[in-house]
Structure 1
């Protein structure tokens, strides 16, 4: 959704991220899956495109929502999912994504084949055999591309699972607009592949996509009516649009439903955003977050002309915490918008150039962790059964989570109820709200680094290591 300039985002989402279906074959019965309820879908027009990744639960963000123990989540009314495919309820067991090929190979230097070493105390040297890398609570600017590649890989399964009609159908719809997209991007600030990815993400290539009422985000690029008429110089007559009986009448009343005009409006917004923010990546983030919100986050971080990867990964509860709190508080996945956009760009590239690789992404073909299961080591602020054993990478992830949650929240221990293979289950009976927030942060961060999948079920959080 195109956020209005100088205004906060309007669409808040709550929910959760769930385990990959394709990455849990050897523990099919253990990986937690859930179904989530959805909100109101516009009756007259088709729903908006790829639904945002969601988070929920007693790993909580105080969402002002009722959450049933059965795992049903109340969504904000403006969150829209594909009606025909999902039928009002969506199974969120995500498909695996390891077939990003060159992206995963590019990430190998810092983040591939990894889990993280804890940040408390002395840090062990990275050991690929043991599955360790550097501190998850710090950002290494010399490896920006690797962080971006890992975050893109981490968000790809969401697009795979949520693309209306599937990735192939969505890509086919989006590809039809390529000539208009190439015309719209002449003069920048983004290239055709990036604008095409935005169409994939915002509307899934559906010209008449609408998120709620006509005043809300609508059209191929999901522009708000106020932004379209007040900022972008587009013709929007809501009174006539509401009365429109045909698609032709709707297009005459509202430029947002005219693909060429919607694309041109989006490019104008991105051009304005880049002029204000100074960077293309920041301009793209602002498309969902809003220029004002992003400027405030940068101000709280203490720098304005930095890559978004630095703002995102270097803002933690322990470092640039004010910026992290703002990003955390938005609650609508604005913070991960750029990674989802890059994931859509990757999917469209594979659709055109490498269908077998795209099929692998969709199928979730993923090499499973190897090694001999080992007991969890003491001294990582964890309580766990004495018989618990995990594969080396999974054990290191669990120990990292325990250490870093304790460091962030100053509360310990975190309780693991069961552990086997590459999956462990954490009790949702937290010792403080701070511990719950710290655990949520670690789940978000490790997910963004494409290292884990997780799901909530009743009183447990199941974490599966990729």
Structure 2
């Protein structure tokens, strides 16, 4: 079972991460309180050949760990009442979960993770208002329950009782709601927690028999056995492979048919397995380290897309003033943007740093990034070019800025801008192919826990993990 939801920032990789950029070094002499001279931009080396983010055989566990961390923000952002409250509800079913999984070969922790993800511990949850849809603790479709799992589901009565439950709830009659819910559980097994959990175990066992892999069995619970089999068919003729291989070894330019089908399913089905693993890890933290869970929930929900989880406040230097930022350049903690953007598939918006004069600073001070962020930007641009076949550059509209500069902006800054781990790309593309290629890369990099990103009307704001440079060189 995976223990880590998010990787702790690894500052030691800074020495490695600058490998893709050559900087013309100026000797900086600090005397008499004078400001450090900014280094001149150097020539950026081309991106590495191939796809440095692709699956590597023998590294399944590493890819799974990163994918759990990169996929789990939804567990905190969308859990009713928050992740801690959801964990408390789910924990109340642990005895039943242990009972129905005993002797079945199905991991009780994974079943608990399914409950967390599917219903947040609400045995009366329905995906909509009609119980023909997914319903109950493990969100089983009426048709699946009846045809595949042998559940007793009187759909007509279930619909009638559901309508009466809704009316009683609207009237504030809690006792009537409870009474009607108990009646519904007797005619629709999906609303009986023990029967719903037992049916889910049956489904997972069927999937394990089909695929002979626990990871594929769990993934199929949301994607569907038939749909997952179709993806495997398109990937390698139907042979069962680790799910991390199926996901990360599929791309628009590699196993393209499998990639297209995998990304056509709605509701982020392709991330389901890792989110179940993440939910199981949340439940473990709830029992063993509740304070750590509360802290993690805060990091995942206080900034857009969970950017604070990549760089917890206080763990990464944030530049308060232009002087601090100059020192970072002098110490090569921040590097100037390369002088050959066109060769790298990039363009720099001329307005970057346009407010610098108000602080008595050159615009060049606000055109740089931490080495890992710069490395990732170069690789991202190269992959977008490869996938799209479009030579037009991605336009960079913002990079590092100190907090004094950010206070001059009319709108709140994006997370991590003052750390140098963040940049923004203009949402103006040469073609739909270029836009699709960028989206494909955002999905892949987020799944690897290398970025957190948010979309605004004008830009894509991307925050980069501190170990991105190491991953580019060595893999996960």
Question: Scaled by the length of structure 2, what TM-score is found?
Answer: 0.70
User: Does 2:333 match 1:368?
Assistant: no
Going from structure 1 to structure 2, the CA distance change for 1:172 and 1:115 (only over 3 Å counts) comes to farther
Which position in structure 1 is the counterpart of 2:127?
Answer: 211
User: Does 2:229 match 1:326?
Assistant: no
User: Does 2:84 match 1:123?
Assistant: no
Equivalent runs, 1:30-429 vs 2, <5 Å: 101=4, 104=7, 123=48, 135-212=51-128, 213-244=130-161, 245=164, 246-302=180-236, 303-364=238-299, 366=312, 367-368=315-316, 372-377=333-338, 378=340, 379-385=343-349, 387=364, 388-411=367-390, 412-420=392-400, 421-429=420-428
Shift of 1:136: 3.6
Name the SS for the 1:269 alignment partner.
helix
Distance in structure 1 (CA, Å) of the matches to 2:214 and 2:222 = 14
RMSD, aligned α-carbons: 2.8
Going from structure 1 to structure 2, the CA distance change for 1:142 and 1:328 (only over 3 Å counts) comes to same
Structure 1 unmatched ranges of 5 or more: 1-98, 125-133
Which position in structure 2 is the counterpart of 1:39?
Answer: none
Shift of 1:427: 1.3
Shift of 1:192: 0.9
Query: How many residues were matched structurally?
Result: 356
Residues 252, 260 of structure 2: 8 Å contact kept? yes
Distance in structure 1 (CA, Å) of the matches to 2:220 and 2:20 = 33
Structure 2 unmatched ranges of 5 or more: 22-44, 165-179, 300-308, 319-331, 351-363, 401-419, 466-476
Max Rg structure: 2
Going from structure 1 to structure 2, the CA distance change for 1:451 and 1:253 (only over 3 Å counts) comes to same
Distance in structure 1 (CA, Å) of the matches to 2:394 and 2:234 = 30
Any idea what the Cα deviations from partners look like across 1:118-171, whole Å, max 9, x if unmatched? 9x96739xxxxxxxxx94442112111111000101122221111110111100
Distance in structure 1 (CA, Å) of the matches to 2:10 and 2:230 = 30
Any idea what the Cα deviations from partners look like across 1:345-388, whole Å, max 9, x if unmatched? 11000001112321221122623379622122233201114742
Going from structure 1 to structure 2, the CA distance change for 1:103 and 1:373 (only over 3 Å counts) comes to closer
Name the SS for the 1:330 alignment partner.
coil
Distance in structure 2 (CA, Å) of the matches to 1:195 and 1:234 = 18
Q: Hey, which bits of structure 1, 4+ residues long, moved more than 4 A?
A: 99-103, 105-110, 113-118
Any idea what the Cα deviations from partners look like across 1:217-241, whole Å, max 9, x if unmatched? 0000000000001110101011111
Residues 203-212 or 391-400, more deviating? 391-400
Question: Scaled by the length of structure 1, what TM-score is found?
Answer: 0.71
Name the SS for the 1:329 alignment partner.
coil
